[in-house]
Amino acid sequence: MLDERKRQILQAIIDDYISTAEPVGSRTIARKYNLGISPATVRNEMADLELLGYLEQPHTSAGRIPSVKGYRFYVDCLLAPPQISDRDIAIIDNWYQTKARRIEEVFQETVKILSRITRNVSMVLAPQLTQCTFKYLQFLPLDERRSIIVIVTDTGLVENKIIEIPEGLSHEDLIRVANAINSRLGGLTVDRITMAVLEDIQNAILPDPKLFERAVLLLKQALTVEKNEKVYLSGTTQMLNQPEFRDVDKVKDLLTMLEEDKLLCDILHMADSDGVVVTIGQENKYTGIHDCSVVQATYRIDGQVVGTVAVLGPTRMEYGKTMAVLKFMQRHLGEILKKYKVL
């Protein structure tokens, strides 16, 4: 465990490096941070911090930079509880009020405002239909043999597809099926509406076994939805303006990764459901982001975790600010989605 003086010096070094992107020397710390100790004492403490693995000395520079271990100690032990500023809250609220009109736009605008505030890449993993709570379904006649089935969830997500009406079923039968399902299955997540659940309400849907079997096949087709998750992303340009990423050749793996939705989904499934999660440098699963940190949090609708919001940037990111903004979004994004959904 670090003593108080080493903690103060480590925090000063990391704060300065985050601000300047320049290796930090002992004279800088002694001059700027008023710790009441000489540059020589600071230099000795910095040497100890390097031996302990909290600092690194890049190239032949006289200054030091934080290591992954140093950043981890900074995030876990030195940062004050993150608080979002009133200014950032006002910017976020005004952004949604002026730009978001539909649920799709909420996700699009969320990544834009996050990348603007943090100056890094931001990502949102949108809810899957299968994870959402079923609200109702409706059959809309298209012609004599086809109908459009519409499934609506509590999040405002809507799934619709054109289906062929099986022989022996009428539009009136479909209306009876929809009414029975809506009255009995509301409140279940879509992935829990299984064939076994439907069979439990067979008599209420269609007493005729043959007609019921055809209706079940129809519903199975309707309730089979794509499980591919959608990631919204913004801020690549802002991130590339950071000193660490100005050499595009050095970040080509990262740029390639940002185009791979499956990899991004995998990264975004690492968030803890109860708080803000920070992974730093080599703590990240993929080598393409070993020079980066990812800060992420899940968000909920009516208490149920439905997605993830995250910021990806250099290890020299403003952790306190980023964590505060994501903590705010974790608390409020679900309510924002419910407010702007269009049913």
- pLDDT value of position 117: 95
- pLDDT value of position 259: 84
CATH code, residues 86-126+229-340: 3.30.450.40
CATH code, residues 130-223: 3.30.390.60
Are 172 and 139 within 8 A, CB to CB? no
Mean pLDDT of the chain: 84
Which residues in the chain come in under a pLDDT of 50? 342-343
Domain boundaries in the chain?
Answer: 4-78, 86-126+229-340, 130-223
Residue 87: helix, strand or coil by DSSP?
Answer: helix
The CA distance from 190 to 192, in Å, is 5
The CA distance from 202 to 173, in Å, is 13
> pLDDT tens, 212-266?
777 777 666 666 655 556 889 999 888 888 888 877 777 888 888 888 888 888 8
> pLDDT tens, 81-121?
889 999 999 999 888 888 767 777 888 889 999 999 999 99
- pLDDT value of position 219: 67
- pLDDT value of position 161: 73
Beta strands in 144-273 (DSSP E): 146-153, 158-164, 231-234
Q: Tokens at residue 126, please?
A: 């949108």
As a whole number of Å, the end-to-end CA separation of the chain is 55
Are 129 and 190 within 8 A, CB to CB? yes
The CA distance from 291 to 268, in Å, is 17
Phi, psi angles (nearest 5°) of residue 65: -130, 160
Are 124 and 261 within 8 A, CB to CB? no
- pLDDT value of position 69: 97
Specify whether domain 4-78 bears CATH 1.10.3720.10: no
The CA distance from 205 to 315, in Å, is 57
